[in-house]
Amino acid sequence: EDQVTQSPEALRLQEGESSSLNCSYTVSGLRGLFWYRQDPGKGPEFLFTLYSAGEEKEKERLKATLTKKESFLHITAPKPEDSATYLCAVTAGNYGQNFVFGPGTRLSVLP
């Protein structure tokens, strides 16, 4: 069964303290890995899509990387406004392209 797990469940950082969030997946035939940001009371907001191992994408203080088993979301010098829940999701061939979502990592950045 295709699975997506995320760690840690929650992360608390001081402003400026860089760290990484992990998304591990077990799927047959990865087609794409997606990162989303979700603010409290809002829907997920799309950040990145990664398609193949070795690929990297950047946006402001965020950089997403992909290997054959996992993806990392690196947050460099975070600010309080980066506080949110970060979700990852995968699409794979044997799921008929349905997205499989992880449970998310809740990030808090303290000033």
Partner 1 sequence: NAGVTQTPKFQVLKTGQSMTLQCAQDMNHNSMYWYRQDPGMGLRLIYYSASEGTTDKGEVPNGYNVSRLNKREFSLRLESAAPSQTSVYFCASERRRGNNSPLHFGNGTRLTVT
Applying CB under 8 A, the residues found at the interface with partner 1 are: 4, 31-32, 34, 36, 41-46, 49, 51, 87, 89, 91, 97-104
Instruction: Dihedral sign for Cα 47, 64, 13, 6, please.
Output: positive
Nearer residue to partner 1 within complex by CB, 31 or 59:
31
The minimum distance between CB 18 and partner 1, in angstroms, equals: 26
Distance separating alpha carbons of residues 28 and 16, to the nearest angstrom? 38
Q: Which amino acid is at 71?
A: S
The minimum distance between CB 81 and partner 1, in angstroms, equals: 18
The minimum distance between CB 111 and partner 1, in angstroms, equals: 26
Distance separating alpha carbons of residues 36 and 86, to the nearest angstrom? 6
